[in-house]
Structure 1
């Protein structure tokens, strides 16, 4: 008898684990809508097909599943052996991270990616992902793990905004970059490789994010659209531009780490026009 496919994503189970009472009273069409927008069947099928794949092998297979095409600008700036921090904008919320891992991992497989701790539920990428608690304080265990990673020879990938880019003044861009990657670069003597990824989500995604903010709703409602946004990106081209390495010695006391982070964020968006631009203070 053929084994029933495992359900990695089970909307009803997740809701029931939070509130069995709510699961009993919520209309079935709401459940069906959530299943559809989270692509429960498609995601479970893809994960089952690639259940035996781990790390970069899994990344490559998922990008094939989505038909993702990648164009790389300034490939020579990708570190081969150098300890560094790769700092990038985060326009898409899924495929951009996978594409970045694929491209960098091709030249340096010893990569670690700082991610929202919720993503550790994706077992296939546990060997690459390093958890960051974006909703609360960092635990002692996480702090020790981060120290170990920064002291290692691993190449560290990072989305300093920590969230997907938003639409501001008509432009798709990350908002405030967290300063920690600047602090760590200096502390552990790691140069920074700035990266610009070209891409955008649907207008509905940005509209929902802006409306939620105006209404004062703290729950990140647009987050639930990210899987659907991934499927909207099927068979599309992702262009990744690697900027010139920036020495950790650059980040001195002329500015605060928060100011340095903002300067680097602006530099990344200037790379959209000129990928070869120098980081000028």
Structure 2
């Protein structure tokens, strides 16, 4: 075996002055101090320890990585070396079958042999076969169900003179092809940061000079933390809609850099001013609730499922039940970052609306509720001001006439301890279906659907832009004005076109929101359900009296609703023959 000369280094150079300038001599000493590492994982951890570099990644983010099956991790390349060590160390805590696609120069470090697959980043178009064997091995590795991490840029981020920003160069389209051929889930990882201005200036003189300075930049990252922001897995099939590998890799690049939005809005949105929260009222005695439920006429019992039933009643019939509904509303809404802040969530509309609630006869408790109003009937007696949505959105009788016979839905909740199950909401919707069946001619549902301030401002803006692009009903939107408009670039009265969308459908929107939210929550359940039914938004308003909740005014035309989804949620109670045919939009 050829021995390394004294004064040489692991990369094979032996020019003392160059070694000192490029910091290769110091890196060589670090390498010697950790050369006893037996595996690539040990070597990466030892190198990070020697440099005093900490890897900052949350357990929630690591949980986004699939524990088995082929996975392709794509990451941006801000520093050139230290992020490879950090990524390898973090991924190794999740699963043992991890490899990094890396520069062939690193094959000179034998300890990394079991952790890296090698390509030659300096192979140009004149050497098309230089990386074939490495890429074939990468495909075989993914085919065996492994996790492969790649920096698709192939070189470190540097200043782009056209935009005067430091960013990754164009990503290699072959990475997208690799994911498709292996049918691998793709996990984006964003690593914030950049190398200093001197490094960027050197690259302007010559790209190889930038490369030569990478060892020095690795040492410059001593005593620092490298942060990893990990997104959820992207199914490889999601790439099929794109026509070319270039389009596919650009999508993956944008999904990766999208994670930078977490740093701009790391936590939940905060109300404009602190609120004083009253203590929530005490529960009503179960005996009072049981007696009021027992006295309701049989025709007001809309749905029965075992010992649970969905009932509807006026306020005058259920004074104790209504107080309990107000208490449970406040608890549920505060749990979602909303709420009135009062001891009970009750208002003047409760006296005129119908209350639809789910009663559990075994536990003798209310499991959830909705508040309903036949809007055309209320408006005929009280005008638009008799409707709750009118407190959030300005509209007149012309808007209600355009809607036709319509049912306003609102103040829906499921008891906190039951929110992990979908049963309660499903039963409530069956109750709504039965309510509609008893009122033939109502063809429209509408109401304010909330996106709480528990969501980051970036997530809320993302949802608003999606609604504007993909689920907007302009002919109705012209007749409505929010009383406190939601301010976000690109969201207004007309669809925004200036930035290409990342979310093409509801599932993808939910995945993007989950990428931004620390608890991985996607689009709010009720908003998802209404959109699946074919609902369309017509205005966005911020309710400052309800925890700065963002409310989307959503309209569902039952005659236009997706029949498959409608049958899943509502057809058990709705006679579709009673729904008037849809008129053409103006």
Same fold (TM over 0.5): yes
Residues 1:10 and 1:129: Cα distance change in structure 2 (over 3 Å): closer
SS of 2:213's equivalent? helix
Comparing 198-207 with 96-105, which one deviates more in the overlay? Answer: 198-207
Take 2:8 and 2:57, find their aligned partners in 1: how far apart are those partners?
Answer: 32
CA deviation vs aligned residue, 1:231-252 (integer Å, no higher than 9, x gap): 1110111110001110000111
Cα offset, 1:34, TM superposition: 1.3
Asked if 1:221 is matched to 2:214, the reply is: no
Tell me, yes or no, if the aligned pair for 1:182 and 1:261 is still in contact at 8 Å.
yes
Cα offset, 1:58, TM superposition: 0.7
Cα offset, 1:5, TM superposition: 9.3
Match for residue 196 of structure 2 among 174, 199, 202: 202
Take 1:71 and 1:97, find their aligned partners in 2: how far apart are those partners?
Answer: 14
Asked if 1:46 is matched to 2:45, the reply is: no
Asked if 1:129 is matched to 2:121, the reply is: no
Take 1:253 and 1:40, find their aligned partners in 2: how far apart are those partners?
Answer: 46
Residues 1:161 and 1:143: Cα distance change in structure 2 (over 3 Å): closer
SS of 2:128's equivalent? coil
Asked if 1:81 is matched to 2:68, the reply is: yes
Residues 1:226 and 1:143: Cα distance change in structure 2 (over 3 Å): closer
Take 1:201 and 1:64, find their aligned partners in 2: how far apart are those partners?
Answer: 21
Cα offset, 1:144, TM superposition: 4.0
Asked if 1:138 is matched to 2:129, the reply is: yes
Take 2:68 and 2:7, find their aligned partners in 1: how far apart are those partners?
Answer: 39
Cα offset, 1:146, TM superposition: 3.0
SS of 1:255's equivalent? coil
In structure 1, the residue matched to 2:56 is: 71
In structure 1, the residue matched to 2:169 is: 175
Cα offset, 1:40, TM superposition: 3.1
CA deviation vs aligned residue, 1:17-58 (integer Å, no higher than 9, x gap): xxxxxxxxxxxxxx5441113323322222122112121011
Residues 1:170 and 1:222: Cα distance change in structure 2 (over 3 Å): same
Matches within 5 A, 1:245-260: 245-260=233-248
CA deviation vs aligned residue, 1:219-273 (integer Å, no higher than 9, x gap): 6221110010111110111110001110000111433111111122122222101
In structure 1, the residue matched to 2:21 is: 37
Tell me, yes or no, if the aligned pair for 2:138 and 2:148 is still in contact at 8 Å.
no
Residues 1:49 and 1:261: Cα distance change in structure 2 (over 3 Å): same
SS of 1:201's equivalent? coil
Residues 1:125 and 1:87: Cα distance change in structure 2 (over 3 Å): same
- The CA RMSD measured in Å over matched residues stands at 2.4
In structure 2, the residue matched to 1:58 is: 43
Q: Which runs of 5+ in 2 are unaligned?
A: 264-457, 463-501, 505-586
Structure 2-normalised TM-score? 0.41
Residues 1:245 and 1:144: Cα distance change in structure 2 (over 3 Å): closer
Tell me, yes or no, if the aligned pair for 2:77 and 2:155 is still in contact at 8 Å.
yes
Name the structure, 1 or 2, with higher relative contact order (CA <8 Å, separation 6+): 1
Structure 1-normalised TM-score? 0.83
Take 1:141 and 1:229, find their aligned partners in 2: how far apart are those partners?
Answer: 30
Take 2:149 and 2:8, find their aligned partners in 1: how far apart are those partners?
Answer: 26
Tell me, yes or no, if the aligned pair for 1:8 and 1:47 is still in contact at 8 Å.
no
Residues 1:92 and 1:252: Cα distance change in structure 2 (over 3 Å): same
Q: Which runs of 5+ in 1 are unaligned?
A: 16-30, 213-218
